[in-house]
Amino acid sequence: MAEENARVLVIGSGPAGYTAGIYASRANLKPVIYEGNQPGGQLTQTTEVENFPGYPEGVQGPEMMDHIRQQALRFGAEIRSKVVSKVDFSKRPFRCEDENGDVVWAETVIISTGASAKYLGLADEEKYRGLGVSACATCDGFFYRKKDVAVVGGGDTACEEALYLSTLCRKVYLIVRKDYLRASDVMAKRIKERENIEVLFNCNTEGLFGEDGVEGAHIVRNLGKDNEEHFDIAIDGFFLAIGHRPNTEIFRGQIDLDEEGYIKVEGATTHTNVPGVFAAGDCADPRYRQAICAAGTGCRAALDAERFLMEHEQL
């Protein structure tokens, strides 16, 4: 078992982790970044990215994340394709252990482990990921202008996604497994009033079909009942809006999490309830979940860590 000390340990990568690495490196804090199970984060599973500043013609998700990673390396960040599996935040320096049993004793920790979209569990979701299947209407809706799409979910998030897509798309199906919307009354009223949104109540998605991408969905209504009905809808895009799961399980009991598992931060800062531990990106953001927002909090976390180190004893 190897042991080492670090002034700043970044757990996780993506726009938040790599940006934290850029800022911490430029402050000569010599950050160590553990990239985690998905180096580069969710954007490495995305095709075209058109809403990140600096890419007027758009950019492929993996390419963009490699650019940010290379920038962190340029300024001296040490990046490791490993996973932190255990942490002890009971006292500083914080003990963080990876899957190989190696230990980093960190004066400060920036958590940027992200969040994972919840999927239905259909094999076709993986088959068509990036080819019509998306978990972010704000990210990908632009590609479906004047086309027909479907949104899965019945809560406020699903309704927000459907309403947003309805301003771009020709038609939006909202696939709801219950016979009512779980969304607020105001949101449900907006859905009902939007002419190009059709709500499919009591419906579940059985699968997707298409040659080079999504062309339609197999739907079942009243599953398991006497009046069970199977039918297809023609769509170009299939959007999941059944929630996200923050990748924060290893921190449970170490720092404060909300009911859904998102890391609680103090006000407009990235401070957690443990002095010296900071959180950035989607793991602490149940609301926006955008790459540019994650990058911004990565910057703030590095600045918060730098100030913390200036105010406390350092290695």
Query: Token pair for residue 261?
Result: 């598992």
Query: Token pair for residue 216?
Result: 């339609």
Catalytic residue chosen out of the listed positions 96, 139, 283, 299: 139
In this structure, how many other beta carbons lie within 10 angstroms of the beta carbon of residue 2? 9
Going by C-beta distance under 8 Å and a sequence separation of 6 or more, which residues neighbour residue 141?
149, 164, 165, 168, 169, 237, 239
Is 299 catalytic? The answer is no
Catalytic residue chosen out of the listed positions 96, 124, 140, 299: 140
294, 15 Cβ separation under 8 angstroms = yes
CA distance 306 to 249: 26
Query: Token pair for residue 35?
Result: 């990239």
Looking only at the bridges linking them, the beta strands covering 237-240 and 133-134 are: parallel
Is 139 catalytic? The answer is yes
Query: Token pair for residue 252?
Result: 């449970």
Which among 270, 227, 293 has a CA at the least distance from the CA of 110? 270
Distance of alpha carbon 115 from the chain centroid? 4
In angstroms, the Cα distances linking 296 to 23, 24, 169, 315 are 11, 13, 30, 27
Query: Token pair for residue 44?
Result: 């490495």
CA distance 301 to 156: 30
Catalytic residue chosen out of the listed positions 88, 98, 102, 136: 136
In terms of phi and psi (left: phi > 0; alpha: psi -120 to 50; beta: otherwise), the region of 268 is: alpha
In eight-state DSSP terms, residue 236 is S
Annotated catalytic sites, by residue?
A: 136, 139-140
